[in-house]
């Protein structure tokens, strides 16, 4: 590596915190190394759209090297950080070390199964592109398997989807899954009535979206029920079995389970020599630095930052504000100016529930329904990286809105299409419900498959 003549800022993580910090230092007299195990920035708030076949991964991600291609003082390093030696001021990778003058850690959160890590294989969470594609595979494959399942009990189990956790991610997933099953897929299959699919949202707290006000929580629940989502609040999960979710007072036979109930800090946070909270987030000082190590900053979801007695929520606007603050702190310190305290400006919270429904809070202002959904659309497009991604996402949302179709319905990976009682080719399944587009009493018969 070439010799450095300027202070070296190492940034770990290419999410909102890491990327915006690097960009905010573009005119600073520093050299920057941005390290991430992936080579792209991911817009996590729209991962559920990938999981439910509206968007493709390329539309919510942008290559880090491309985004920073014109910034001369930054290098991008793709790699996995295994340790941080704060005493020697070095970041440790499997094959090398990177010395730093300032370290900014923004490695985010990962799934937490509250001591039941064995549930991970049966109930994937939603934090990465791989997670989203796995959920989409299971979701769409369930309908394909149900099409060939003659046993009614097994068929209904295939068509039962349980989302554990009713925060924004769980609510958005449940609403999107119900929309796809009840409004998008009817008519695409010959022998399965997709409107009979059950989407069940389970929450241990007393209401959905517990971080919102009770009024908005109630509005969200009403919107979910209109979409056909079954909501179970005050229900704790005690076990997740291969084909069932067990609650304290109920057992739900389900073919697909998604985890949206818990997160914990990246393990790297515990390597910084600072105290962590119960979720593994690093307790930072008023300037976002680690106690006893003023050259180490933690920002974004990994930071436990308290302001006026409350912990700042791990959302994109908070990560961006922290990133810009830390960049300014580094610039000021290099000029000999004293450090200031970080002040968070709360821009509010948003959650969407299916087609043209959402809830939003900004200060004392609370809105729901279509106005909140328009606000959600505008803000999410605004935060997307790259003009091409913004245009593409808007086009796919318009298509989904006007035609009730999903453009990314490819199933990738291994297919789980084993059935209990296979239906023979050309053999129909009687249904007590009318066909979704039934305007005629004629029974539909599928053509025999070619041999």
State the catalytic residues. Answer: 172
Distance CA 217, CA 226 (A): 14
Q: Which of 7, 26, 27, 10 is nearest to 18 (CA)?
A: 10
Scored b (16 or more CB within 10 A) or e, 270-280 reads ebbebebeebb
Please state the length of the chain: 451
- 8 Å CB contact between 118 and 125: no
Q: With H, G, I as helix, E, B as strand and everything else as coil, classify residue 35.
A: strand
- 8 Å CB contact between 258 and 245: no
Distance CA 165, CA 183 (A): 24
Instruction: Enumerate residues 6+ apart whose C-beta is below 8 A from 32.
Output: 8, 9, 10, 11, 22, 25, 71, 73, 74, 75
Q: How many helices (DSSP H) and strands (DSSP E) are in the chain? A: 10, 27
* Residue indicated by tokens 């498959």: 449
CA 445 distance to own-chain centroid: 40
């Amino acid at each position: 590596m070439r010799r450095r003549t300027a202070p070296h800022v190492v940034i770990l993580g290419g999410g909102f915190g890491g990327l915006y910090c690097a960009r905010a230092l573009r005119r600073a007299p520093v050299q920057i190394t941005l390290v991430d195990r992936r080579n792209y920035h991911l817009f996590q708030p729209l991962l559920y759209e990938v999981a439910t076949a509206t968007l493709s991964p390329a539309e919510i991600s942008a290559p880090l090297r491309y985004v920073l291609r014109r910034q001369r003082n930054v290098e991008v390093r793709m790699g996995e950080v295994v340790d941080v030696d704060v005493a020697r001021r070095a970041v440790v990778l499997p094959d090398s070390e990177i010395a730093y003058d300032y370290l900014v850690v923004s490695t985010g959160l990962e799934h937490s199964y509250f001591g039941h890590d064995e549930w991970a294989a049966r109930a994937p969470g939603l934090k990465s592109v791989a997670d989203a594609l796995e959920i989409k595979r299971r979701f769409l494959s369930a309908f394909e398997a149900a099409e060939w399942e003659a046993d009614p009990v097994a068929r209904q189990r295939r068509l039962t989807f349980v989302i554990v956790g009713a925060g924004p991610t769980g609510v958005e997933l449940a609403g999107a899954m119900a929309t796809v099953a009840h409004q998008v897929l009817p008519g695409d299959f010959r022998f399965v009535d997709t409107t009979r699919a059950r989407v069940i949202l389970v929450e241990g707290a007393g209401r959905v979206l517990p971080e919102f006000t009770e009024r908005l929580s109630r509005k969200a629940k009403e919107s979910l029920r209109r979409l056909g989502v079954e909501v179970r609040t005050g229900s704790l999960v005690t076990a997740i079995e291969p084909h069932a979710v067990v609650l304290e007072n109920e057992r739900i036979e389900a073919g697909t389970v998604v985890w949206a109930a818990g997160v914990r800090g990246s393990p790297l946070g515990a390597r910084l020599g600072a105290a962590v909270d119960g979720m593994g987030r690093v307790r930072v000082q008023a300037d976002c630095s680690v106690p006893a190590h003023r050259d180490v900053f933690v920002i974004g979801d990994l930071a436990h930052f308290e302001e006026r007695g409350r912990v700042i929520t791990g959302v994109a606007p908070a990560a961006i504000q922290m990133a810009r603050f830390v960049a300014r702190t580094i610039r000021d310190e290099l000029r000999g100016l004293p450090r200031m305290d970080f002040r968070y400006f709360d821009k509010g919270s948003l959650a969407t529930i299916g087609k043209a429904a959402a809830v939003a809070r900004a200060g004392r202002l609370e809105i729901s329904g279509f106005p909140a959904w328009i606000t959600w659309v505008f803000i999410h497009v605004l935060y997307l990286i790259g003009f091409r991604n913004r245009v593409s996402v808007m086009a796919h949302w318009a298509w989904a809105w006007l035609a009730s179709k999903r453009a990314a319905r490819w199933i990738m990976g291994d297919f789980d299409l084993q059935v209990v009682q296979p239906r023979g080719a050309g053999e129909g399944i009687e249904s007590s419900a009318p066909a979704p587009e039934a305007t005629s009493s004629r029974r539909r018969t599928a053509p025999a498959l070619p041999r």
